[in-house]
Amino acid sequence: MLVLVAPGQGAQTPGFLTPWLDLPGVEDRLRAWSDAIGLDLVHYGTHADADEIRDTAIAQPLLVAAGLVSTAALGAVTPGAVAGHSVGEFTAAAVAGVLTDDDALALVRRRGLAMAEAAAITETGMSALLGGDPDVSVAHLERLGLTPANINGAGQIVAAGTLEQLAALAEDKPEGVRKVVALKVAGAFHTHHMSPAVDALAEAAKELSPADPKITYVSNKDGRTVAAGGEIVDRLVGQVANPVRWDLCMETFKELGVTALLEVCPGGTLTGLAKRALPGVKTLALKTPDDLDAARELIADHSA
């Protein structure tokens, strides 16, 4: 059984969309979305530098656009399940048919702007903890006033909070943690610091008419599968200020009988986690069009 997954913020790198523009129709599609949401996706995906695409309001729609064009380039594909990490959930919702591509881009553009506004209130950030016992690490973070914003499985937790709190964490790592790595994000996402963005996103979501998913959809909130489109949108809204439980998503993949995991562009992060947490599961990260043939072969071998 094949699971299709979409990465979250931090996966973007300068120029990562450049090779995709060589595919027929991709540039036209990106320019149409750019006009619709008021953001030049072609420029930011090809010519912008790392600091520019670190901006939350730019990174989020850029990642969803990349996920959608790379999924479309695979051709007809119906995975057994679909999920996304953080903003990748918007890609997953579109792939599952809950939102149209246009609605997903419009809503994620509003999400990015709202989260950037919330992040500007206080200087905050996120850092990944590598190694250690999750229970020990979570208790340690709470003592420092930090939130375990992403519990990713495979020994990785992402802490979020103020820059002062993160500096204290770097000096005082939890027992067993090998390294604390600052992430290239512009705020403490999936924490109470993002509460102002929830209201803005909820208001924007009122304009949508979501459909029930055509593909099994696995939610970041608790790793559960969700069968109602309206509930999926509600979860997309609330997830802005809730921790991402990717560990529970991977547990659900196991329960569903996953045999292969394909991560859409810009792939790499989630396949890395899967290699450690889902031994025996075939993985493939879709980075450039050069990976499409291998991805299609994986789909053919593992689709029902």
Q: Which residues belong to the active site? A: 86, 190
Among candidate residues 56, 186, 197, the one with its CA nearest the CA of residue 118: 197
Q: For tokens 């992403």, what's the residue?
A: 150
CA distance 45 to 235: 28
In our burial notation (b when 16+ CB lie closer than 10 A, e otherwise), range 188-215 reads bbbbebbebbbebbbebbeebebbebeb
Contact between 186 and 56 (Cβ < 8 Å): yes
Q: Which residues does 131 contact at the CB level (< 8 Å), separation at least 6? A: 155, 176, 177, 178, 179
Q: Which residues does 248 contact at the CB level (< 8 Å), separation at least 6? A: 151, 222, 223
Among candidate residues 20, 13, 74, the one with its CA nearest the CA of residue 42: 20
Phi (first) and psi of residue 85, to 5 degrees: -90, 115
Look at phi and psi of residue 239 and say left if phi exceeds 0, alpha if psi is from -120 to 50, else beta.
alpha
